[in-house]
Amino acid sequence: MDVVGFWTRSWTSDDPATVRRLLAPDVEVEWNLDAPVDDEELVQVQHRIAAFADSVAVLDSTLADDGATLVYDLVAPFGSARMVEFLVVADGRITEVRQIYDVTATDRYFPGLYAN
């Protein structure tokens, strides 16, 4: 199974149940948003992005046997923001998620996305 591709398709099409199934029970999650994060908050923020965005596209990716790096374009009604995601995969599950957002653009074009 292409875990990374399935992950990307699941969260960008707003399928939180599948996103949760892909996360390992002890997944490590980090991001640069001004809010605490755990797996549930990650799923909620991805849901909000997928629901609000006009589109979410993968602009570039680097794939490896144990994970991937993805660059996303998050297009909102009045502008877009970029997000880079680093994933580690083991035994068919995502064990680490690291997200780096363009915080200025995210706050401007996705207001209220996260609790700060």
pLDDT for 115 equals 67
Measured over the CA atoms of residue 7, residue 47, residue 79 and residue 32, the dihedral's sign is: negative
- In this structure, is residue 29 part of a structural domain? yes
- In this structure, is residue 51 part of a structural domain? yes
How far CA 23 is from CA of 36, 39, 80, in Å, comes to 18, 8, 27
3-state SS, residue 76: strand
- In this structure, is residue 116 part of a structural domain? no
- In this structure, is residue 23 part of a structural domain? yes
Q: Which residues are 64's β-sheet partners?
A: 67
Instruction: Provide the mean pLDDT of the chain.
Output: 95
- In this structure, is residue 32 part of a structural domain? yes
Task: Tell me the CATH number at 80.
Answer: 3.10.450.50
- In this structure, is residue 61 part of a structural domain? yes
| Domain region containing 51 | 3-109
pLDDT for 114 equals 86
Q: Which residues are 53's β-sheet partners?
A: none
Q: How many domains does the chain have?
A: 1
pTM of the model as a whole: 0.93
How far CA 106 is from CA of 25, 75, 102, 111, in Å, comes to 28, 10, 6, 7
pLDDT for 1 equals 58
- Mean pLDDT throughout 85-94? 98
- In this structure, is residue 115 part of a structural domain? no
- In this structure, is residue 62 part of a structural domain? yes
Q: Quick one: which of 35, 27, 9 has its CA closest to 87? A: 27
